[in-house]
């Protein structure tokens, strides 16, 4: 297999899937406050997808070696790095949670994105980790243009994150996406400039850095087969967008009315 190049028609399908994936996050946003459980967030996400006529890419998703994933979305709280399974524990003031939503449209296109939510008043450390992880994702996005390399994205993210005393999770990465959830290429969130695949117009992939406040090592949590936590129990944050390589630069596809404001150093969602 190799990296798929999306046609104009494919890109139209991806724009819709990605906007709808972002709108699921908009839909649940006002409900995310102290007392809500992650199961309830999952229910709201599924309700929104039903209204849209999309389906969740995660329910029943089962890569080799994994049990079927049970949720309509992923909810990763505090030291959970990724793939947190929605449960009945209420969120409390000071928690940070990543909600990761992937939808499939009627035409079979996948849109994948995630955001961080702060539950009530959070510590300065938690706010800083979330905000700087958001900036790191955008610094990666700003590398995207024809002729750049995947290593440029990883390098930008790693340099920024480590420069702020954080660490980058290595075991999970961004990914090509289209009519397949996880396709080539792998998009590492660390690396060296000028290395790895050269970007070409029509490539679509996610950029989804997982950044830890402490050490980068992770471990599996419990025996659900999915939940990943930081080994040192430090906080972890993640943001995710699906991005198209255009003739001149990038187009961020997972945007909607409720998308958070851009970092000050970003001037455009498409270049």
Cα 227 from Cα 247, distance rounded (Å): 38
Nearer to ligand MF3, 206 or 236 (CB): 206
Least spacing, CB of residue 113 vs ligand MF3, in Å: 8
DSSP category for residue 80: E
> Which of helix, strand or coil describes residue 144?
coil
> Which of helix, strand or coil describes residue 13?
helix
**Of residues 223-262, which lie at the interface with ligand MF3 (CB under 6 A)?**
226, 240
Q: Is residue 152 a known part of a binding site?
A: no
* C-beta neighbour count of 81 within 10 angstroms: 26
> Which of helix, strand or coil describes residue 44?
helix
Can you tell me which of 41, 74, 148, 157 binds ligand MF3, judged by CB under 6 A? 74
222, 188 Cβ separation under 8 angstroms: no
Can you tell me which of 83, 155, 216, 241 binds ligand MF3, judged by CB under 6 A? 83
Q: Which helix (H) or strand (E) holds 103?
A: strand 96-104
Task: Say whether residue 100 binds Co ion (CB under 5 A).
Answer: yes
* C-beta neighbour count of 268 within 10 angstroms: 11
Can you tell me which of 10, 23, 95, 112 binds ligand MF3, judged by CB under 6 A? 112
- Can you give the C-alpha Rg of the chain in angstroms? 17
**Of residues 235-264, which lie at the interface with Co ion (CB under 5 A)?**
240
Q: Is residue 100 a known part of a binding site?
A: yes
Nearer to Co ion, 159 or 182 (CB): 182
Q: Is residue 42 a known part of a binding site?
A: no
Question: Beta 241-245 vs 110-118: how paired, if at all?
Answer: unpaired
Residue found by looking up tokens 């396709």 in the block: 183
Residue range at the interface with Co ion (CB under 5 A); choices 6-14, 22-30, 100-108, 185-193 = 100-108
Cα 122 from Cα 131, distance rounded (Å): 12
* Per rule CB under 6 A, count of chain residues that contact ligand MF3: 12
Q: Is residue 182 a known part of a binding site?
A: yes
Q: Is residue 175 a known part of a binding site?
A: yes
> Which of helix, strand or coil describes residue 102?
strand
Can you tell me which of 3, 61, 146, 246 binds ligand MF3, judged by CB under 6 A? 61
Least spacing, CB of residue 173 vs ligand MF3, in Å: 9
Q: Which residues are annotated as a binding site?
A: 83, 100, 112, 175, 182, 208, 240
Q: Which residues are annotated as a binding site for a divalent metal cation?
A: 100, 112, 175, 208, 240
Binding residues for Co ion, rule: CB under 5 A, are 100, 112, 206, 240
């Amino acid at each position: 297999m190799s990296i798929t190049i999306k046609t104009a028609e494919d890109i139209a399908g991806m724009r819709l899937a990605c906007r709808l994936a972002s709108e699921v996050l908009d839909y649940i946003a006002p409900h995310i406050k102290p007392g809500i459980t992650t199961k309830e967030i999952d229910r709201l996400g599924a309700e929104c997808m039903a209204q849209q006529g999309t389906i969740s890419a995660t329910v029943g998703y089962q890569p080799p070696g994994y049990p079927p994933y049970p949720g309509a979305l992923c909810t990763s709280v505090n030291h959970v790095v990724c793939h947190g399974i929605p449960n009945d524990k209420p969120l409390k003031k000071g928690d940070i949670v990543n909600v990761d939503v992937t939808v499939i449209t009627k035409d079979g296109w996948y849109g994948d994105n995630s955001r961080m939510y702060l539950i009530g008043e959070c510590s300065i450390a938690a706010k800083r980790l979330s905000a700087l992880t958001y900036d790191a994702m955008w610094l990666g996005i700003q590398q995207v243009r024809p002729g750049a390399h995947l290593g440029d994205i990883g390098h930008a993210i790693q340099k920024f994150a480590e420069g702020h005393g954080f660490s980058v999770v290595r075991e999970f990465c961004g990914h090509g996406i289209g009519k397949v959830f996880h396709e080539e290429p792998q998009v590492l969130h660390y690396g060296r400039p000028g290395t790895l695949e050269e970007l070409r117009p029509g490539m679509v992939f996610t950029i989804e850095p997982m950044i830890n406040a402490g050490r980068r090592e992770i471990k599996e949590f419990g025996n659900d087969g999915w939940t990943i936590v930081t080994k040192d129990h430090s906080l972890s944050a993640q943001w995710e967008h699906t991005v198209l390589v255009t003739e001149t630069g990038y187009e961020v596809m997972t945007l909607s009315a409720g998308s958070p404001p851009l970092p000050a150093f970003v001037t455009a969602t498409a270049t």
